[in-house]
Amino acid sequence: MTTPEQSPEQYSEDLYPADDTLTRVKESIAAAGIRDVSIAPGYGRLLTMLVQMSGASRVLEIGALGGYSGICLARGLTQNGEIVSLELKQENADLAGRNMSEAGYGGQVRYMVGPALDSLEALHAEGEKFDFFFIDADKENYPNYLEYAIRLARPGAVIAGDNTLLRGRTLDSDKNGPSVQAMRKFNETIAQDERLISTFIPAYDGLALALVK
């Protein structure tokens, strides 16, 4: 039973021992003066499980930040699996790369730096295909990222999108900024697009999951 001061999310986190590797990643993000918007620990563990359960060998990550989600994804990869990580800023990609290497996954990740839509178009033009997608970048482009993920997906690929609640703004009818409208469109597409089988998890800051038919 939770206490009035304890959220369900905090209760669940308290069940698990500290993850020293991921703690160091968060410390490195803070030391670099970067705003830490890494995925919630519970969703990080879920990413590891989903990648492993799906048998994914090629993962596309949109938004590297400091490598927290990259490590979670890599932990579930097949032995010869690869992550292609798209990151707007070179300093973030450098930090993520260092953290991935220190965690033992440096040889399994390749970074593409610059606007993600440009990188996605290049991957599409090259005929690249992936088994798993994790979207955690600028919110206004979430609908575009979803469409590219579907195009780049092998049949049965998994798509995960973080921050789908936008700290409650998605639910607030008085909030109608570009990011909120884009996230609502993303969530509605995930739920209704006939190319997908999906669900929506309303814990932490929200996570959408879809399977490409």
Tell me the average pLDDT across 121-141. Answer: 98
Q: How far apart are CA 28 and CA 102, in angstroms?
A: 12
* This prediction's pTM: 0.95
pLDDT at position 79: 86
Residue 3 has pLDDT above 80, yes or no: no
Tell me the average pLDDT across 141-150. Answer: 98
pLDDT at position 122: 98
Tell me the average pLDDT across 25-40. Answer: 97
Residue 1 has pLDDT above 60, yes or no: no
Q: Check residue 165 and report its DSSP letter.
A: T
Residue 157 has pLDDT above 90, yes or no: yes
Per the prediction, the chain carries an average pLDDT of: 96
Tell me the average pLDDT across 44-58. Answer: 98
Contact 158, 87 (CB under 8 A): no
pLDDT tens, position by position, 57-114: 999 999 999 999 999 999 999 989 999 999 999 999 999 999 999 999 999 999 999 9
Q: φ, ψ for residue 141 (rounded to 5)?
A: -100, 10
Which has the higher per-residue pLDDT, 78 or 188?
188
Residue 40 has pLDDT above 60, yes or no: yes
- Report how far apart, in Å, the C-alpha atoms of 209 and of each of 27, 99, 121, 145, 199 are: 29, 26, 23, 14, 5
Residue 5 has pLDDT above 90, yes or no: no
Other beta carbons within 10 angstroms of residue 103's beta carbon come to 17
pLDDT at position 6: 85
